[in-house]
Amino acid sequence: MSAVPVYADIEAAARRIAPHVRVTPVLSAASLDELAGCRLHFKCENFQRAGAFKFRGACNAVWSLPDAIAARGVVTHSSGNHGAALALAAKTRGIPAHVVVPAGAVATKLAAIARAGAAVHECAPTLAARDAMAAELERTTGATLVHPFTDPRVIAGQGTAARELLEQAGPLDALIAPIGGGGLIGGSAIAARALAPAIRLFAAEPEGAADAHASLAAGRRVADLVPETICDGLRATLGEINFALLRAHGVEVLLASDVETVAAMRLVFERLKIVVEPSSAIALAAILRHRARFAGLRVGVILTGGNVDPDRLPWQS
């Protein structure tokens, strides 16, 4: 695997993770198509193991390691879906997982990480403290760091969702996925360009965490924004390699507000009968806000995750 993944890496990842991941269904709803003015094919990664597409990348990283190195375990920093996904991926290989989380992280998410069998290590809620603790764990345990979105093995694994979607849904004119650090859209862009060279590629980003949008506009990576959005899975800053992939594959970033995202989440609940996180629903929100971009097209939409507290639906608060 090279530093920047290519399509062959995604094919290899698909073969590698096939025994472990779920082939998630693609759903659609006539009433949503009418509303959006295009034909929507929703790839339901909220049904993926551990509740999100993150399991694909984590699983590819874990199963890419040579036996001797794998035996020493893996380590990452994430208080969200990547942490739980890496924990579960490590479990599929029977190796230890260490997850560094900032003090004050959401209790239900921590519980999910612990339930999957990982050791949870709490650190001060700063980037420096987080990186220091992860590095310390690498040193002391010999575990391999699996970064949530810049690791090429992770990016290649995430790309398998778009590959599967294109196989399942047939020809698509456009593909949209949410963007946080850029691992999913990076892998998706590689896969989609290889399988459908003329496809239009979009990333959906919260207005309150619009660093990818700003980066493409500025022509350089903007890494100093402070995120403020309900989309807790999209607060990370775009990675270098991810920024390069966005530019290489001509991905356009579309913004949506939190209000639009919550409305889209409610629509998905009501029309598709499924549960998605705000960080997933933003893709539909972006389509509805920028509908002229999608008019009449066959659009693939990656619904990334469904880890939602049933007692705290955002449209009810």
Residues interacting with a second copy, by CB under 8 A?
A: 25, 27, 30, 46-47, 49, 51, 266, 269-270, 272-276, 306, 308, 310-311, 313, 315-316
Which structure tokens are listed for 165? 């979607």
> Which residues on neighbouring strands pair with residue 298, listed in sequence order?
39
Closest approach, Cβ 86 to a second copy, in A, equals 17
Between 92 and 141, CB nearer to a second copy = 92
Nearer to a second copy, 95 or 276 (CB): 276
Return the SS3 of 312: coil
CA distance 93 to 112: 18
| Token reading at 18 | 């096939």
Give the nearer residue to a second copy in terms of CB position, either 196 or 264.
Answer: 264
Task: Label the pairing between strands 200-206 and 26-27.
Answer: unpaired
| Cα separation, 47 vs 124, whole angstroms | 32
Which residue, 241 or 275, has its beta carbon nearer to a second copy?
275
The residue among 274 and 288 lying less far from a second copy, judged by its C-beta, is: 274
Q: How far apart are CA 142 and CA 135, in angstroms?
A: 10
State the nearest-atom distance from the C-beta of 263 to a second copy, in Å: 11
Three-class SS of 159-202: HHHHHHHHHHHCCCCEEEEECCCCHHHHHHHHHHHHHCCCCEEE
Q: Residues 284, 285, 291, CA angle at the centre, nearest 5°? A: 85
**CA–centroid distance for 70 within its chain:** 23
Q: Minimum CB separation from a second copy for residue 305, in Å?
A: 9
SS3 for 303?
A: strand
7 vs 269 by CB, closer to a second copy: 269
- DSSP state, residue 149: S
Q: How far is the CB of 105 from a second copy (least distance, A)?
A: 19
Minimum distance, C-beta of residue 38 to a second copy, in the bound complex (Å):
19
User: Which residue number, 46 or 242, has a Cβ lying nearer to a second copy?
Assistant: 46
* Minimum separation from the CB atom of position 290 to a second copy (A): 24
- Which DSSP string do the residues of 53-95 spell out, in sequence order? THHHHHHHHHHHS-HHHHTT-EEEE-SSHHHHHHHHHHHHHT-
Min dist. Cβ of residue 203 to a second copy (A): 23
